[in-house]
Amino acid sequence: MNISNTVKITPELVAEHGLKPDEYERILKLIGREPSITELGIFSAMWNEHCSYKSSKVHLKTLPVTGPIVIQGPGENAGVIDIGDGLACVFKMESHNHPSFIEPYQGATTGVGGILRDVFTMGARPIACLNALRFGSPDHPRTRHLVSGVVAGIGGYGNSFGVPTVAGSVGFHSRYDGNILVNAMAVGIADADKIFYAKATGVGLPVVYLGSKTGRDGIHGATMASAEFGEGAEEKRPTVQVGDPFAEKLLLEACLEIMAKDCVVAIQDMGAAGLTCSAVEMGAKGDLGITLDLEKVPVREEAMTAYEMMLSESQERMLMVLKPGKEAEAEAIFKKWGLDFAIVGYTTDTLRFLIRHNGEEMADLPIKELGDQAPEYNRPFTESPKLPVLDAASVPAPTSLGDALGKLVGSPDLCSKRWVWEQYDHLILNNTVQRPGGDAAVVRVQDGPKALALCTDVTPRYCEADPFEGGKQAVAECWRNLTAVGSTPLAITDNLNFGNPERPEIMGQFVGCIRGIKEACLALNFPVVSGNVSLYNETQGRGILPTPTIGGVGLLKNFEQSATLAFKASGEAILLIGETRGHLGQSAYLATLFGREEGAPPPVDLTAEKRHGDFVRDLIAKGRVTAVHDCSDGGLLVALAEMAMASGIGAKLEAAPSGLPAHAFWFGEDQARYVLTVPAAAAPEIESAAKAAGIPALRLGVTAGEQLTLPGENPISVAELKQRHESWLPDYMAGNG
């Protein structure tokens, strides 16, 4: 079906474009006439939630985005931070939730492709990918299919593109049954003085289209990402794009080559809303108009209309403004890599976004207003009710600690994710110092000794129970994981996944999480430099758990000083840094063993968090600890089990301190805690250093043998734990779970 440009704009057509009646009124007022169908499509692309952040902007503005290391905060393709020696780290995380639910393999591939493009558009060579995935209940009939497709898709793109996928998180919960989360993060390295931006400068310069050809795929993808799913989600399949990692690899090499030759004034990738969004961004940011002649756009389908070309989300495409006289040089580079190169327009001083097709005007809109005058909502919100702190004594004890531990390490959320990360090439480029499975990945920068620590974190059940504490906790845990490998946490990217913002209680979750993130970022000196908001994650009126994924970057001056979580030798002292109150509300213990998600989540004391983390990082830097592990989901005994399973070495543990039920001590999820091992002789000195700094340090026992032994309990075989830990996911995926 061809939509001609003389279509009568009806209220139904406006609604089909995801625009509310008052938003359409705003358009009429802005341009003083009825829009053409192409113009309506352009407005719908620019003003949807995904591109305009209309519901979130007012709150996002409150996040701390500056700091001495910040070169570029939110608002560009990706965030940029200074990592010293003339180098910059460029990174961002973005969701591809809706497409991945409809078509898991292609949804995931294009999510990875999009975020990689965001990073190399800024002139950086990607060095690592990460992700955060949330699936529905393992019992849900679609879950296995979705896990299989998403994981294969993430691997399929990254492996072929040639960047290691080094870390991530995978979780399951019935609240994602109808709306999974696929958050992909990419990290790149660039020369700090050679960062490329979207802002165009100069009038009459050529606007160049690069990369793959334009087809009809993904038309209105961004509008879909801004709507709830109803029953007919399957019918949306034509709006899911298809990824081509091969084309993207060529695009990467060609773009970096063209940038090195100093040909580029401005560059913007064509992601959501394709040609429309990229052209408007370049013009609006540079206070310039853009004129495009669509007959020059390379297409792979016949008879494409202006409307279709402006809204296509075909992948692996870029838009550039070239320096004068550089056309031939740039074209030769693109032809060498076998990619399309076409001058499709030019910059003007009119501030108009003028679209022509075979000489006929199809759209003529004010370019600044397209972006700047998007509706902005301060939507009503209601705060989530505070839940009472659960009394540990009211939580049943397990039949035995060993039995509970086995169930936890073999549970869907805490089991080994080896089945997932073995499908990702995590070794390519030869710089992966710490592989998946630790607290954070460590990736060497160029030839070292500098390295980056990378991780993604969020605990959605905490965010549901208390958005403010949950938001704080997501940032704090990310900071803690980066610290646990010895790095100095530098900055984060956030991927805020929530339900329908038009519901006050969902908006309340969003606002609460943002406040928590803000408070933690300020306290930990950990700015937000990029991010993405994904709203309307609901199916048939049921929202997901609020899931503000935090992707963090830390810096190690020397990667040889990074710490790992595996026990290193028998006979070493095991120390716990941080205070244990036995907080069982919203714990994995309560949820996994008793199916209860109750009470307030553990509170996060950011002052303690910082003090404990700085203390541990200093010990690592001085080479005084042999193993370090963050204590989080599942609590202390799970942390110890993970250190044991990573090494095969067991531990002889002391009894829980009196005054706390044993299961609260061992499975409570109090924050700001780390487990360390140190040579036995060094333990007293470290304990007194902690005491002097006002930091709780508790001797838990000593590494020994091949079992975990606890007073009054049967010894727990590390090999058996490992068997349970490793087998759940492969068994489940094989259909035996």
Interface ranges with other proteins (CB under 8 A): 152, 155-156, 159-162, 244-247, 249-250, 337-338, 421-433, 444, 448, 559-560
How many Cβ atoms are within 10 Å of 423's Cβ, its own excluded? Answer: 18
Alpha helices in 525-658 (DSSP H): 588-594, 606-621, 635-645
Nearer to other proteins, 316 or 572 (CB): 316
Smallest gap from Cβ 234 to other proteins, in A, equals 25
Nearer to other proteins, 51 or 454 (CB): 454
Nearer to other proteins, 282 or 433 (CB): 433
Helix (H) or strand (E) holding 489: strand 488-497
Nearest to 104 by CA among 240, 272, 209: 240
Smallest gap from Cβ 430 to other proteins, in A, equals 5
Backbone angles phi, psi at 442, to 5 degrees: -125, 125
- Cβ-count burial 276-305 (b if 16+ within 10 Å, e if not): bbbbbbbbbbbebbbbbbbeebbbeeeebb
Smallest gap from Cβ 160 to other proteins, in A, equals 4
Smallest gap from Cβ 236 to other proteins, in A, equals 27
Smallest gap from Cβ 426 to other proteins, in A, equals 6
Nearer to other proteins, 125 or 596 (CB): 125
d(CA 80, CA 4): 43
Sign, CA dihedral 631-637-640-645, equals negative
Contact 603, 590 (CB under 8 A): no
Nearer to other proteins, 229 or 421 (CB): 421
Nearer to other proteins, 358 or 430 (CB): 430
Q: How far is CA 345 from CA 207, 266, 297, 517, in A?
A: 5, 14, 10, 42
**3-class secondary structure, 576:** strand
DSSP 299: B
Nearer to other proteins, 129 or 207 (CB): 129
Smallest gap from Cβ 60 to other proteins, in A, equals 36
Smallest gap from Cβ 423 to other proteins, in A, equals 5
Beta carbons within 8 Å of 190's beta carbon, 6+ residues apart: 80, 87, 88, 90, 122, 123, 124, 125
Smallest gap from Cβ 68 to other proteins, in A, equals 30
Nearer to other proteins, 156 or 585 (CB): 156
Smallest gap from Cβ 425 to other proteins, in A, equals 4
Q: How far is CA 95 from CA 81, 102, 156, 688, in A?
A: 22, 14, 17, 46
Residue of 50, 59, 426, 725 marked catalytic: 50
Q: How many Cα atoms occupy the beta-carbon half-sphere of 209 within 13 Å?
A: 25
Contact 550, 456 (CB under 8 A): yes
Residue of 17, 59, 96, 220 marked catalytic: 96
Smallest gap from Cβ 352 to other proteins, in A, equals 39
Give the CA-trace dihedral at 120, 150, 168, 230, to 10 degrees: 100
Catalytic (active site) residue 96: yes
**Strand 528-534 relative to strand 488-497, pairing:** parallel
Whose tokens are 């930990």? That residue is: 524
Whose tokens are 């003085």? That residue is: 193
Smallest gap from Cβ 631 to other proteins, in A, equals 27
Contact 386, 469 (CB under 8 A): no
Nearer to other proteins, 162 or 298 (CB): 162
Amino acid at 638: V
Contact 291, 348 (CB under 8 A): yes
Nearer to other proteins, 419 or 526 (CB): 419
d(CA 59, CA 501): 12
Is the omega angle on the peptide bond into residue 449 within 30 degrees of 0, that is, cis?
yes
Nearer to other proteins, 151 or 310 (CB): 151
d(CA 483, CA 617): 6
Nearer to other proteins, 15 or 427 (CB): 427
Contact 621, 413 (CB under 8 A): no
d(CA 125, CA 122): 9
Query: Residue 698: left if φ>0, alpha if ψ -120 to 50, beta else—which one?
Result: beta
Nearer to other proteins, 332 or 427 (CB): 427
Nearest to 147 by CA among 728, 591, 638: 728
d(CA 161, CA 158): 5
Nearest to 498 by CA among 457, 532, 533: 533
Catalytic (active site) residue 612: no
- Cβ-count burial 541-552 (b if 16+ within 10 Å, e if not): eebbbbbbbbbb
Contact 735, 144 (CB under 8 A): yes
Query: Residue 73: left if φ>0, alpha if ψ -120 to 50, beta else—which one?
Result: beta
Q: Output the DSSP codes for 45-73.
A: HHHSHHHH-TTTHHHHTTS----TTEEE-
Smallest gap from Cβ 655 to other proteins, in A, equals 38
Beta carbons within 8 Å of 323's beta carbon, 6+ residues apart: 205, 262, 263, 264, 265
Smallest gap from Cβ 254 to other proteins, in A, equals 10
- Hey, which residues are catalytic here? 50, 96
